[in-house]
């Protein structure tokens, strides 16, 4: 009798799911996933639908809402899925446990914090507060040991600590992975970390990483608590599993340890966050666990068949094999366009956009993607000049980024020694120079200049002399006024900013790559005045005001990382050159796996049309030195695309 009831329920629910539009692959993943289950959901395959229908299916089959745990990477994703579940089933979802890793872990810690030496009312430090406390710990450590050497900034130390926490590694291992150039500071960073940890404990506080680490520690060292917590959750579902870190994997495995129903959904081919501790290997290792069921969701609802065929041909080498099938009507082959340099590339992009608008598309239907923001600088200038409306999805305009403004401040001072804003920005980069000191020096130099003294004399008469590095650099710059702006920037970079960046920013490689490209662009100008004029105009140009009817009608410009999870009718991917995409450092370090996955993610954003642009001149990047020929032949993504999958064009063709 019980079996008959179950069969009737199953039949009733299956018909509902079919009526709501689940395809056969999705249906099997929803109804047959028990135990350890890995659902590989290709791009545009409807993974959110699978997760929400799985929850609805469980609820309709007498699983209580409080016994289901859904773990996502954003609160918005969790909220969206719960709302969709409500539309599918009439069951009460109010007791469903859903949220981010940090949200779920915090719920657990609030009950058992006392076991770890905290009160249940512990406070959570946000990123800014955590950095402030880490700075205090860093400075106290320096004073305690009377250190003369400059330590990495708190933001850099924070990055190393966070990586170590998420990957369950030591400081040494973290340094080897992400900051080998700081290996000499290993002992210092460990001691700062210990002091910082003690300060947090004394304050009854945790930072974001503590929430994960302490939860993992609590569950691994307290069997009774582990059993009690994990007994509650008959089913644990994890979204975007390819983005999980080692500590996150350990936590969800612990939470599913009693009932052993851990259902994870993701796509290993779209794992692109290793820099923040995500492990590509989590999916592959999970698949190897004995008894794990594997489902592949391979119907693509996003892209036309021609784009899907290209996607299939560029599946990253180490990814789980899959072959997407488009359910859409035929479209046009992706375009592969070779331009001469980034200037010509920008002209071509603007031409493509103009043609698409003439065909009836809206600006919001178009996205321009790139590996790093620096690759978009020339294009941003071109689009500004043509008054094309755009938004930067994943950051500021290149010319407005902090490191580029830092470099420009030196050049602006050279052109106008009375520019207090630029003086202050430049001076505060030097150790021991705070806002008050910078303002005083600005005022001293300004007073001297207004009294008829020349720049060199004003500099010598100011208290800037107390800082040997600053005095030396600005004294040298005065003699370079008539030189090419690229020479000026190169001097600042090589003498000071490159090393400053290493000790100050966890993403120094990316920043330095931007600066190096900026120096190259500066070489196109004859003098400092013309260079600054162009840069400032570019900085201050107002984007065209979108119509009142559609305030979001703007072209999207974004890094590939920023575009993940999104889609557009037309995608233009620029600078697919060795050194740009794949990234120069990845080539140098022979770490191309994630670059392949980035390329895959970029291509899979396109719905109707895809344009892939490269430059026949290649790139100029100091990381590559003289290895261009080798790099070009061995690491060119464009050359790996089968000829029959694209329409090849060169500039001069009519689009």
pLDDT given at position 533: 65
- For residues 335 and 611, is the Cβ–Cβ distance under 8 A? yes
Tell me the per-residue pLDDT of 533-590, one tens digit each, with 9 for 90 and over: 667 655 444 434 334 344 579 999 999 998 998 999 999 999 999 988 998 888 888 8
pLDDT for residue 404 is more than 60: yes
Q: What mean pLDDT is predicted for residues 338-359? A: 93
pLDDT for residue 319 is more than 50: yes
d(CA 389, CA 496): 37
- For residues 67 and 259, is the Cβ–Cβ distance under 8 A? no
For residue 369, name the pLDDT band (cuts at 50, 70, 90). very high
Dihedral (Cα; 251, 252, 255, 259), 10-degree rounding:
-150
Cβ density class 301-313: b for 16+ within 10 Å, e for less? ebbbbbbbbbbbe
Q: Tell me if residue 297 falls in helix, strand or coil.
A: strand
User: What is the pTM assigned to this prediction?
Assistant: 0.80
pLDDT given at position 17: 55
pLDDT given at position 516: 86
pLDDT for residue 125 is more than 60: yes
- For residues 151 and 185, is the Cβ–Cβ distance under 8 A? yes
Q: Give the dihedral sign, CA 362/272/155/74.
A: positive
Select the highest-mean-pLDDT range: 136-140, 274-278, 332-336: 332-336
Nearest Cα neighbor of 186 from 160, 168, 153 is: 160
- For residues 546 and 554, is the Cβ–Cβ distance under 8 A? yes
Weakest mean pLDDT among 124-128, 189-193, 240-244, 439-443: 124-128
pLDDT given at position 589: 80
pLDDT given at position 544: 41
Dihedral (Cα; 141, 146, 152, 157), 10-degree rounding:
-10
pLDDT given at position 145: 84
* DSSP 8-state class, residue 245: B
pLDDT for residue 14 is more than 60: no
Q: What is the DSSP string of 22-56?
A: --HHHHHHHHS--SSEEEEE-TTS-HHHHHHHHHH
**% of the chain surpassing 70 pLDDT:** 90
pLDDT for residue 129 is more than 80: no
CA 618: distance to chain centroid?
A: 25
For residue 417, name the pLDDT band (cuts at 50, 70, 90). confident
pLDDT, averaged across the chain? 86
d(CA 453, CA 439): 19
pLDDT given at position 5: 42
For residue 216, name the pLDDT band (cuts at 50, 70, 90). very high
pLDDT given at position 610: 98
pLDDT given at position 594: 93
Nearest Cα neighbor of 82 from 64, 96, 68, 72 is: 96
Q: Which pair of structure tokens corresponds to residue 47?
A: 């993974």
pLDDT for residue 527 is more than 90: no
162: how many CB neighbours lie within 10 A of its CB?
21
Nearest Cα neighbor of 483 from 408, 578, 411 is: 411
Tell me the per-residue pLDDT of 41-100, one tens digit each, with 9 for 90 and over: 999 999 999 999 999 999 988 899 999 999 998 888 888 899 888 888 878 888 999 999
d(CA 351, CA 124): 50
pLDDT given at position 548: 37
pLDDT for residue 170 is more than 50: yes
pLDDT given at position 472: 92
For residue 19, name the pLDDT band (cuts at 50, 70, 90). low
- For residues 546 and 362, is the Cβ–Cβ distance under 8 A? no
Q: Tell me if residue 630 falls in helix, strand or coil.
A: helix
d(CA 320, CA 242): 12
Q: What is the DSSP string of 200-237?
A: HHHTTEE-HHHHHHHHHHHHHH-HHHHHHHHHH-SEEE
pLDDT given at position 546: 38
Q: What mean pLDDT is predicted for residues 204-230? A: 94
Q: Which residues pair with 97 in a beta bridge?
A: 69
pLDDT given at position 394: 61
Q: Which pair of structure tokens corresponds to residue 63?
A: 């699983």
Strands of the 606-615 sheet, one edge to the other: 390-392, 555-559, 366-370, 568-573, 606-615, 335-339, 647-650
Looking at per-residue confidence, does 440 or 325 come out higher? Answer: 325
- For residues 416 and 446, is the Cβ–Cβ distance under 8 A? no
pLDDT given at position 163: 94
d(CA 356, CA 4): 58
pLDDT given at position 323: 94
pLDDT given at position 86: 86
pLDDT given at position 144: 87
Q: Longest C-alpha distance within the chain, in Å? A: 103
């Amino acid at each position: 009798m019980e079996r008959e009831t179950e069969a009737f329920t199953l039949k009733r629910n299956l018909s509902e799911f079919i009526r709501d539009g689940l395809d056969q692959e999705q249906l099997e993943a929803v109804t047959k996933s028990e135990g350890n289950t890995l659902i590989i959901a290709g791009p545009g395959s409807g993974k959110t639908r699978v997760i929400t229908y799985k929850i609805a299916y469980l609820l309709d089959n007498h699983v209580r809402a409080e016994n289901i745990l859904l773990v996502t990477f954003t609160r918005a994703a969790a909220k969206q899925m719960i709302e969709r579940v409500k539309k599918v089933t009439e069951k009460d979802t109010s007791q469903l446990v859903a949220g981010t890793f940090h949200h779920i872990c915090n719920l657990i810690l609030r009950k058992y914090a006392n076991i770890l030496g905290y009160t249940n009312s512990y406070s959570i430090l946000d990123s800014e507060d955590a950095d402030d406390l880490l700075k205090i710990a860093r400075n106290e450590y320096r004073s305690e040991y009377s250190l003369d050497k400059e330590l990495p900034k708190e933001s850099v130390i924070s990055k190393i600590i966070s990586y170590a926490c998420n990957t369950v590694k030591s400081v040494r291992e973290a340094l080897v992975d992400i900051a080998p150039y700081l290996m000499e500071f290993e002992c210092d960073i460990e001691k700062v970390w210990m002091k910082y940890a003690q300060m947090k404990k004394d304050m009854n506080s945790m930072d974001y990483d503590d929430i994960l680490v302490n939860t993992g520690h609590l569950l691994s060292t307290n069997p009774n608590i582990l059993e009690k917590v994990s007994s509650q959750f008959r089913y644990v579902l994890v979204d975007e599993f390819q983005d999980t870190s080692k500590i996150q994997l350990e936590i969800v495995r612990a939470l599913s340890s009693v009932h052993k129903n851990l259902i994870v959904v993701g796509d290993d081919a779209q794992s692109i966050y290793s820099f923040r501790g995500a492990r590509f290997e989590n999916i592959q290792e999970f698949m190897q666990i004995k008894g794990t069921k594997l489902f592949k969701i391979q119907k693509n609802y996003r892209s036309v068949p021609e784009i899907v065929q290209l996607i299939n041909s560029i599946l990253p080498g180490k990814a789980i094999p899959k072959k997407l099938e488009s359910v859409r009507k035929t479209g046009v082959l992706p375009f592969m366009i070779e331009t001469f340099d980034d200037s010509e590339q920008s002209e071509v992009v603007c031409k493509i956009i103009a043609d698409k608008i003439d065909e009836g598309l809206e600006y919001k239907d178009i996205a321009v993607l790139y590996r790093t923001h620096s690759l978009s600088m020339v294009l941003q200038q071109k689009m500004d000049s043509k008054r094309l409306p755009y938004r930067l999805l994943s950051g500021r305009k290149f010319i407005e980024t902090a490191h580029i403004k830092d470099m420009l401040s030196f050049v602006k001072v050279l052109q106008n020694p009375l520019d207090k804003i630029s003086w202050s920005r430049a001076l505060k980069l030097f150790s021991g120079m705070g806002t008050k000191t910078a303002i005083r020096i600005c005022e001293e130099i300004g007073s001297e200049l207004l009294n008829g003294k020349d720049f060199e004399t004003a500099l010598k008469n100011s208290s800037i002399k107390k800082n040997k590095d600053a005095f030396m650099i600005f004294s040298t710059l005065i003699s370079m006024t008539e030189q090419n702006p690229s020479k000026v920037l190169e001097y600042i970079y090589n003498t000071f900013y490159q090393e400053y960046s290493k000790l100050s920013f966890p993403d120094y490689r990316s920043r330095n790559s931007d600066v190096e490209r900026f120096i190259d662009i500066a070489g196109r100008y004859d003098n400092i005045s013309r260079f600054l004029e162009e840069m400032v105009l570019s900085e201050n140009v107002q984007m065209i005001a979108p119509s009142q009817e559609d305030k979001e009608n703007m072209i999207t410009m974004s890094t590939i990382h920023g575009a993940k999870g999104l889609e557009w009718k037309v995608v233009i991917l620029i600078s697919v050159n060795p050194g740009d995409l794949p990234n120069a450092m990845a080539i140098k370090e022979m770490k191309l796996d994630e670059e392949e996955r980035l390329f895959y993610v970029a291509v899979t954003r396109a719905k109707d049309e895809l344009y892939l642009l490269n430059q026949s001149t290649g790139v100029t990047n100091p990381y590559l030195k003289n290895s261009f020929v080798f790099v070009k032949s061995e690491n060119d993504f464009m050359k790996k695309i089968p000829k029959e999958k694209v329409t090849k064009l060169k500039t001069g063709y009519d689009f």
